[in-house]
Chain A
Amino acid sequence: MQHPAIEMKNLWFAYGGQRVLDQVSLTLPAGEFLAVLGPNGGGKSTLLRLLLGLVKPGGGSLRVLGQQPGQTGGLIGYLPQFTAVSASFPITVLGAVALGLVRPGFSGLTGWLNPAARRAEREAALLALSRVGLADQAGRRLSDLSGGQRQRVFIARAIVSGPELLLLDEPTASVDGKSRQELMALLAELNRDMTIVMVSHDMSTVDGCVTSIACVNQSLHHHAESRLTPEIFAQAAGVDLRATCPVELVAHGPVPHRVLLDHDHPDCCGGAHRPEKKDNGPDKGKNIGTANAHANGKDKGGAA
């Protein structure tokens, strides 16, 4: 993987005359697990659509896996938002996963496959299903599965073509807490084989699992760390910390909770928002050496 997974410079995109994204620059090395945070309407999903080639940038340069977006075919795995698929669609779990093998262009439209190709598709789909832990559900109707299981089926569909880059749009929305943890563990494991970019508004999923965080709110700030700081939190929520309390959930009694370590990084958010990852190396090690840190992610971050 000689190319960075994502390379964008001075990218902008306007929707109806208004710039949704402006002056966005980001270089994401291969192997990263990037969480894209930001308020609703801040341009997170637009960023994904740009990477997929579904919309064209107004200006600036953008390379995905060293290629023009939209030319990458099955090299990008994509998990759209949960609501995109009708819950009652008549399809088996295996059938849904096999749809991830569709070829781009008009050659992918024709319905007739020879038996060998059909068998190869079936095996690839079964393999992808076993990676997400659902091989035993292959023959069931998709609509019979729980929300968390269904989300894992869609992840299997995204990875069945063996992508180098996995783009996820709100993967943990509309699944319950336990499924959310399992999903994040699954993604951390998939991160060993592929670069992951995850759009999320759920900041609790981010901490510790990812290797870097990008805050998108028209502009993009890339933080080369895996944990939330008050500053990242403020950027991601699109609020001013001095005016708002970032802790919105208050509960009585023995509620499971997690308190983040003190943030002692001297210059992280004082102006070092650009993705100069290497410069942060020594400080970074100190920062994320906690029980929460993801060992795999840390190694990758240091080596990048």
Chain B
Amino acid sequence: MMEALGFEFFRNALLAGLLASVICGVIGSLVVVNRIVFLAGGVAHASYGGVGLAFYLGLPVLPVTTGFSTAAALGMAWVTLDARERSDTVIGVLWAAGMALGIILLDLTPGYNSDLMSYLFGSILAVPRSDLALMAGLSALVLLLAGLFSRGLLVMSFDAEFARSRGVPVRFLHFLLMALVAACVVMVIRVVGLILVMALLTIPPFMAERRASSLGGMMLLSAVLSAVFCVAGLYLSYALDLSSGASIIAVACLGFVLSLLVPAGRGRRGPA
């Protein structure tokens, strides 16, 4: 590990992984307790349209993808507002439509794009400094917004119906949460790719939920777990010459299985 730290690309990768871990801990927890895992998957996959758009227009990938996935997320937020009938089907359509758009735009782009796979499965070892800066900026923004609206997000996540009855602007919070998910997805695309994003968004929060006694605690614990998975996966990928994104997810999945075998603490009784 120490020798690896001598390389700039490895230090960048480690930094990217840690940034993504913090954001995944916060946003992944909100995704899990709000039961919008499927929605988050839709945003992640639809954001491939943004990657295609960036290549087609010859613009930097991450900023364009950020804009595109935010638009897709807000669209999905609108579709799912007030738990509309068949909204899950519409999400499924948007999910596929975004990916198809991305692939078609890439087909139309002249030249061979070797970089394609890296957006599907991550390329954390090739994160340039400019992306790192954007990721840091996005993290700061996400943390700021989540912190500013933490009370509202907690009230909505716990019981949206009750929150509505108390005049809490739940619709605004729903849009806000989806925009945060979009920002989070863009950040994690670099780390594990948009197909594997779901694992980092769901596994650490799931493990943390049973052991935390507050939403904040759940976020903190899942961020720590994410960081452990990222660092361990990164090291394995370096040492064994494996794909970085898949290594990180493999470690996370292993942790997931182990956590199921170990009973949850805190004097928990009764059925789960």
A residues apposed to B, CB below 8 Å: 52-54, 70, 73-74, 76, 78, 80, 84-86, 88-92, 95-96, 99-100, 102, 104-106, 108-111, 113, 141, 143-144, 146, 157
> Which residues does chain A contribute within 8 Å of B218, judged by CB atoms?
90
Complex Cα–Cα for A108 and B167 (A) = 9
A80-B162, A144-B269 given; A88·B209 CB < 8 A? yes
Q: Which residues of B contact A80 (CB under 8 A)?
A: 159, 161-162, 165
Chain A residues contacting B96 (CB-CB under 8 Å) are none
Of residues 123 through 182 on chain B, the ones whose CB sits less than 8 Å from some CB of chain A are 147-155, 157-169, 172-173
| Chain B window 38-70, contacts with chain A (Cβ cutoff 8 Å), 1 for yes, 0 for no | 000000000000000000000000000000000
Roughly how many angstroms separate A89 CA and B147 CA in the complex, as a whole number? Answer: 19
Using an 8 Å CB-CB cutoff, how does the interface string of B188-216 with A read, 1 for contact, 0 for none? Answer: 00000000000000000000111011110
Given A88-B210, A109-B173: 4 more A-B contacts, CB < 8 Å:
A90-B215, A108-B151, A113-B151, A146-B270
Please state if A89 and B158 are interface contacts (CB–CB under 8 Å).
yes
Q: Please, how many angstroms separate the alpha-carbon atoms of A105 and B169 in the complex?
A: 6
**Which residues of chain B come closer than 8 Å to A89, judged between CB atoms?**
33, 157-158, 209, 215
Contact B268 A144 (CB under 8 A): yes
Chain B residue nearest to A73 (CB atoms) is B167
What is the interface residue range for chain B against chain A?
Answer: 35 or more
Chain B residues touching A, majority SS? helix
Taking Cβ atoms with an 8 Å cutoff, the residues of B that contact A are 33, 35, 147-155, 157-169, 172-173, 208-210, 212-215, 217-218, 266-270, 272
Q: Are B212 and A90 in contact (CB under 8 A)?
A: yes
| Chain A proximity of B60: nearest CB distance (Å) | 33
Contact A102 B155 (CB under 8 A): yes
The residue from B160, B167, B214, B270 contacting A90, defined by CB atoms under 8 A apart? B214
Among candidates A78, A90, A91, A109, residue contacting B151 with C-beta atoms closer than 8 Å: A109
How near does chain A come to B27, taking the closest CB pair, in angstroms? 16
Neighbouring A residues of B153 by C-beta, 8 Å: 109
Q: A143–B165 Cα gap in the complex (Å)?
A: 23
- 13 cross-chain CB contacts under 8 A: A52-B165, A53-B165, A73-B166, A84-B161, A88-B210, A90-B214, A92-B213, A99-B158, A102-B155, A104-B167, A105-B168, A108-B168, A144-B269
Once A90-B217, A92-B214, A144-B267 are accepted as A-B contacts, the answer to whether A157 and B152 lie under 8 Å apart by CB is no
Residue pair B167, A86 in contact (C-beta under 8 Å): no
Query: B165 contacts A78, CB within 8 Å?
Result: yes
* Contact status A54-B165, CB under 8 Å: yes
Tell me whether B149 and A85 are in contact (CB under 8 A). no
Write the nearest CB–CB distance from A39 to chain B, whole angstroms. Answer: 22
Chain B residues, CB < 8 A from A73: 166-167
With A80-B165, A86-B33 in contact, is A108–B158 under 8 Å at CB?
no
Interchain CA distance A146-B269 in the complex, whole Å: 10
- Tell me whether B268 and A143 are in contact (CB under 8 A): yes
Is there contact, CB below 8 Å, between A141 and B266? yes
How far is B266's CA from A80's CA once the two chains are assembled, in angstroms?
28
User: Can you name the residue of chain A whose Cβ is closest to the Cβ of B267?
Assistant: A144
Contacts of A88 in B (CB 8 A): 209-210, 272
- State in angstroms the CA–CA spacing of A143 and B161 once bound together: 19
Let me know if B168 and A85 touch, CB within 8 A: no
Closest chain A residue to B151, Cβ basis: A111
User: When the two chains form their complex, are residues A91 and B158 in contact, meaning their CB atoms are under 8 A apart?
Assistant: yes
Bound Cα distance from A144 to B271, whole angstroms: 9
Set B152, B266, B270: member contacting A109, Cβ < 8 A: B152
A84, B270: Cα distance in complex, Å = 20
Contact of A102 with B173 in the complex, beta carbons under 8 Å? no
Q: Please name the 6 residue pairs, one residue from A and one from B, whose CB atoms are nearest each other, closest first.
A: A104-B167, A111-B150, A109-B152, A90-B212, A78-B165, A80-B161
Closest chain-A Cβ to B222's Cβ sits at a distance in Å of 11
Smallest CB-CB separation from A72: which chain B residue? Answer: B167
Complex partner residue of A111 from B148, B163, B268, CB under 8 angstroms: B148
Provided the pairs A90-B214, A91-B213, A111-B151 are in contact, do residues A96 and B166 lie with their beta carbons within 8 angstroms?
A: no
Query: When the two chains form their complex, are residues A144 and B165 in contact, meaning their CB atoms are under 8 A apart?
Result: no
Beta-carbon contact of A106 and B169 below 8 Å: yes
Most buried by A among B154, B160, B162: B162
Name the distance in Å between A70's Cβ and chain B's nearest Cβ: 7
Residues of the B chain whose Cβ atoms lie less than 8 Å from the Cβ of A74: 166
Task: Considering the complex, give the chain B residue whose CB is closest to the CB of A139.
Answer: B213
Q: How far is the CB of B259 from chain A (nearest CB, A)?
A: 14
Please name all residues of chain A whose beta carbon is closer than 8 Å to the beta carbon of B217 when the two chains form the complex: 90
B151 touches A110 (CB 8 A): yes
Q: Contacts A88-B210, A141-B213, A144-B268; is A109 near B168 (CB within 8 Å)? A: yes
A90 lies within 8 A of B209 (CB): yes
Contact for B166 among A84, A92, A102, A141, CB less than 8 A: A102
B268: chain A residues at CB < 8 Å are: 141, 143-144
Q: Are the CB atoms of A85 and B151 closer together than 8 Å? A: no
Q: A95 CA to B217 CA in the complex, in Å?
A: 13
Nearest-neighbour CB distance to chain B for A20, whole angstroms, equals 16
Q: How far is the CA of A85 from the CA of B157 in the complex (A)?
A: 9
Question: Looking at B159, B214, B266, which has the most chain A CB atoms within 10 Å of its CB?
Answer: B159
Chain B residues with CB below 8 A from A113, complex form: 151
